Structure 1
Amino acid sequence: MNPLAGVLPASVVTVVRFDDDAAEPLHPDEEPAVAQAVATRRAEFTTGRACARAALAGLGAPAASVPVGEKRSPVWPDGVVGSITHTKGFRGAAVAWSAAVRSVGVDAEQHDVLPEGVLEAVSSPEERAVLAALAAQRPDVHWDRLLFSAKESVYKTWFPLTGRWLGFEEAVLTPGADGTFHARLLVPGPVVDGTERTAFTGRWTVSDGFVLTAIALEA
């Protein structure tokens, strides 16, 4: 089962794995990113890159290396956009041709309550009021974790278009009970195809103990 595929359009190729295969080697230009890392970090990074290469192959692109670039973002082959995510028990990658999708961001998190104090650090009173109303409607969803994940997907979509940091407080995130979310930017947005993008819209799902969020900014 590939839950990422369910929250992205068909133009985006996704690959997920639920465990690590230590036998899969890293490319030489990927290796420096985890040269001093502990074993668990190295394993998740290695499997994430393996997912990325498998997704590139599924797209029909060269299964090239995916080194770490500025602010630790993946560097994709020319003509490709993509995103990688990993959390305990889940690794995934999503890629698309840049002619069809201008940017993509995906994030996976454990479907559980955020640690104490984190929600207050990453959300506004306005956002927390929306989450409280949603919790009354759908108590089966950890809306605080979903908001955190969706903001991660917003950043992963934003950064390749701007090359700039986006703080948690610089976008207002409004999830919907229908499996969508809307992010309104509070700072000038990127100009894409001649138009300033002032907001992003994405989709979310909960599957097998994970919450997954994704944005595909189509051309």
Structure 2
Amino acid sequence: MRAMDVFTGLPDWLRLECQPIDQLQGDLFPEESQQLARAVPKRRREFTAGRTLARRLLVQAGYPAGAIPADASRCPRWPEGVAGSISHSESQCAAALASLHDCRSIGVDLESIGAVTPDLWPYVFTPAEQQVLQTTTIASPETAKLQATLGFSAKEAFFKSQYPLTKLWLDFPQAEIRQLSARSFTLELTETLPELPRTVSGLFWPVPGQQLLTLLWL
């Protein structure tokens, strides 16, 4: 699966790709391997997939294929001048990147459709969002399942994109879904943060394995 085959609607300056984890088991740099010294095999596979895919995008964008170690908060430490994000599910890995000349930060997230079950809604969604999901469930349980996954994933992508700018760990109710269309969403912050716009928009796509990928940039 190539990015151009699936991810329509992207600006020319942004690169995004999603591939099966099993197909992304390349070599790591010593600095990266050292950070995995105590990692279980599953974590090593996921980390390796993310770095392999991210390096592929870096080379495509004209950057050297260097190490991408994790920082103290376990976020990827991108080369100077690059904004990027990595996400993985049980079977898939996604990476996105762009130049800091084009955006301040990027957030990408992968989720399995249906994993955000109703018992999790009070922790993930505001009362208004929960009401919409409850109403949708009555009319179409499958649609509600998709919307719950999208809402969770959109917030995760936003949290990833805002962290490099604010260094804050936000709670899910601090962002609320305001609008959905066929391939896009809009989030509104429920409180003002000086470093961030009050409203942000992003894109989403289905990916193989009944999964959903969300992306936004600031």
Question: Which of the five TM-score ranges fits, normalised by the shorter chain?
Answer: 0.7 to 0.9
Query: What's the % identity of the aligned pairs?
Result: 33
Are residues 1:130 and 2:132 paired? yes
Q: CA deviation at 1:210?
A: 1.1
- Residues 1-219 of structure 1 aligned to structure 2 (within 5 Å): 1=1, 2=3, 5-6=7-8, 8-21=10-23, 24-115=26-117, 117-133=119-135, 136=139, 139-140=142-143, 142-191=146-195, 196-208=196-208, 209-217=210-218
Residue identity in the other structure for 2:214 = T
Could you state the TM-score of these two structures normalised by the residue count of structure 2?
A: 0.87
Residue identity in the other structure for 1:166 = L
- Aligned residue pairs total 213
What is the distance in 1 between the residues matched to 2:54 and 2:160? 15
Could you list the per-position Cα deviations for residues 124-167 of structure 1 after superposition, in whole angstroms to 9, with x for gaps in the alignment?
Answer: 11112233455547944621111111110010110111122111
Residue identity in the other structure for 1:201 = S
Q: Which runs of 5+ in 2 are unaligned?
A: none
Comparing 128-137 with 91-100, greater Cα deviation is found at: 128-137
Higher relative contact order (CA 8 A, sep 6+): 1
CA RMSD in angstroms comes to 2.3
Structure-2 change in CA distance of 1:15 and 1:180 (3 Å): closer
What is the distance in 1 between the residues matched to 2:201 and 2:48? 30
Residue identity in the other structure for 1:67 = P
Residue identity in the other structure for 1:188 = T
Residue identity in the other structure for 2:126 = S
